[in-house]
Amino acid sequence: MIIENRAERIKSALEPLVEDLLAAGVRLNSERSMHFLFAEDYPIGLPIILSHLERPYEDLPKSIIAGALYYTKNKHSQAIWPEIADIYSKTPNMAKLFDKPSLQPIPSAFKSSLANALLKLYEPKRLSSLVHLVCDKRNGETRIILLKPLIRVQKRRKKVAELLADLKSDPMLATELAARGI
């Protein structure tokens, strides 16, 4: 019963986005999910999704919306990487629990989803922007997600290796970097 209510609450919370996507002619699957948009719908659908990410949804529905950004690596979604990075930087690290908002805040699922979108859509030309996001302590523990491209190129880029060595002093990143042998 609780799970059904939760699913219904999430579906209800996402209804304004679904309505806007359908009104714009974006085709959704039979579950009316915004995941896996058809390639030709991305130019229309992505700006609508981005606009809804700026609206005051609860954390969990926003996380689901952000998940729509990282299901494909097409030129349209890659082009909005800077906008996603901006939303990511502005998103608080903690959020109210969806089912029990009166309890202590928990780590934001939305911020984690945005970090995953940034990772999925990352291109090497975004290295300096990625470094900025990882070095900004205001982005909290979700920065761990963004370390992967830096770790991958550390042997080829001396400055990245030096940066990772410096980041070992960051308490939120130290354990992950040590686990990766840095």
* Per-residue pLDDT at 177 exceeds 90: yes
Q: Is the pLDDT of residue 70 over 80?
A: no
Chain centroid to Cα 88, Å, comes to 7
CA pair distance 111, 178, nearest whole angstrom: 24
Calculate the average pLDDT of the chain. 90
Position 136 scores a pLDDT of 98
Residue 34 pLDDT greater than 70, yes or no: no
State the pLDDT at residue 86.
97
pLDDT of the residue at 73: 66
Class of residue 139 by CB neighbours under 10 A (exposed 0-12, middle 13-18, buried 19+): buried
The yes-or-no verdict on residue 148 having pLDDT over 80 is: yes
Q: pLDDT of 47-69, one tens digit each?
A: 999 999 999 999 999 999 998 88
- Please tell me the predicted confidence (pLDDT) of residue 6: 78
Helices (H), 2-126: 2-23, 42-53, 59-67, 75-79, 81-90, 109-120
Question: How much is the pLDDT for 57?
Answer: 92
| Model-wide pTM > 0.75 | yes
Task: Report whether pLDDT(3) > 80.
Answer: no
Q: What is the pLDDT of residues 102-130, one digit of tens each?
A: 788 999 999 999 999 999 999 999 999 99
pLDDT at 69: 86
Lowest mean per-residue pLDDT among 61-75, 77-91, 142-156: 61-75
* pLDDT at 36 (0 to 100): 62
